[in-house]
Amino acid sequence: MGEDVEKLKQRLSLLDYLRQQRWTARSTAHGREFVGLCPLHPETQPSFYVNARKNLFYCHGCGQGGDLIRFVQLSRHLSFHESLSYLDQQSALTADPAAVLEQAATFYQQQLERHPEALRYLEQRGLRDLALIKELRIGYAPGGSLRRHLTAQGYSCELLGRLGLLNSLGYDAFYRRVIFPCCQGGRVVNLYGRSIAAAFAHRFLPGSKGSLYAWEQVQQCPEVILVEGLFDYAVLWQAGFRHVTCSLGTHLNAEQFQQLCDRPRTIYLTFDVDANGSGQQASQQLAKRLRMQGITTRLVVLPDGHDPNSFFVQGGDARQFQVLLEAAQT
């Protein structure tokens, strides 16, 4: 019984269930915690908190708290076993893609420390801070094991294939790739797989790559460093530059562009200095679009052939990068 209950809660998280019931909330300063009006009693000031990582709720207004099953018991006036039956039907009817991607991201994160080749690759890319690696939820896809794990949780191969987690032959789509979860509003919306072997292409899952990476952490900053890639983001964060975000490529989608324009600020565009000039051309075009919206821009010029990641890997440090920021061109 205990194992079945855990599988049920993994298939349908508390936050996903509440959102299906049209509960609206905002994230708190703690990132994975959300607050909104309590669905269990009338109130005008939000006091109902959900910890998405622990899958628990607590209302400071009515004093009720617990997990998903407890919430269903209270909201639908059902017994424990009746709640289990109800939730089993709900999870079968509505498999939330974000919940599946959350499960995949957690599984990949658990694999990272079990595969020394993945940790060696991260170190080669300049990532040595294990706390940062954990905070960014970086994982590893060895291949051949995700399908078994997720089908054991009750997800169908058809669903996993539709989300891009399995290929057309039914095998794990990600193989020998370091995995970055891409989140939006506390939900995993995509996964980025960075190959540790030259034979395999880097790739996202099908669908939107989402908003700017970790945007919630820098939204209030008057100055923001914008980089192309997730390794660029990670090494800058590791070096102490906490006002950095990532566009996951040089082409911003409409939502990402609007995020940069949501208030007056200065954007330091820090794209790759490619041999063909594509990175700098993209940053100049983006700077022009941003200036038309009243946003101040600065073009950070890295040494030829470098991106922020390679700059730090090949001996650059935080002081030298700060000098580049101060010398950024208008």
End-to-end CA, the chain: 63
- The one-letter code for the residue type at 193 is G
| Per-residue pLDDT tens digits for 28-50 | 866 678 899 999 999 999 999 99
Q: Which helix (H) or strand (E) covers residue 184, if one does?
A: strand 177-184
DSSP letters spanning 12-55: S-HHHHHHHTT---EE-TTSSEEEE--SSS--SS--EEEETTTT
Q: Which residues in the chain show pLDDT less than 70?
A: 1-4, 7, 9-11, 29-31, 91-95, 153-154, 198-201
In this prediction, residue 327 carries a pLDDT of 94
pLDDT of residue 298: 96
Q: What is the pLDDT of residue 273?
A: 82
Reduced to 3 states, what is the DSSP secondary structure of residue 68?
helix
Task: Give the residue carrying structure tokens 């194992």.
Answer: 3
- What pTM was estimated for this model as a whole? 0.72
pLDDT at 95: 65
Taking the C-alpha atoms of residue 44 and residue 28, their distance in angstroms, rounded to an integer, is 18
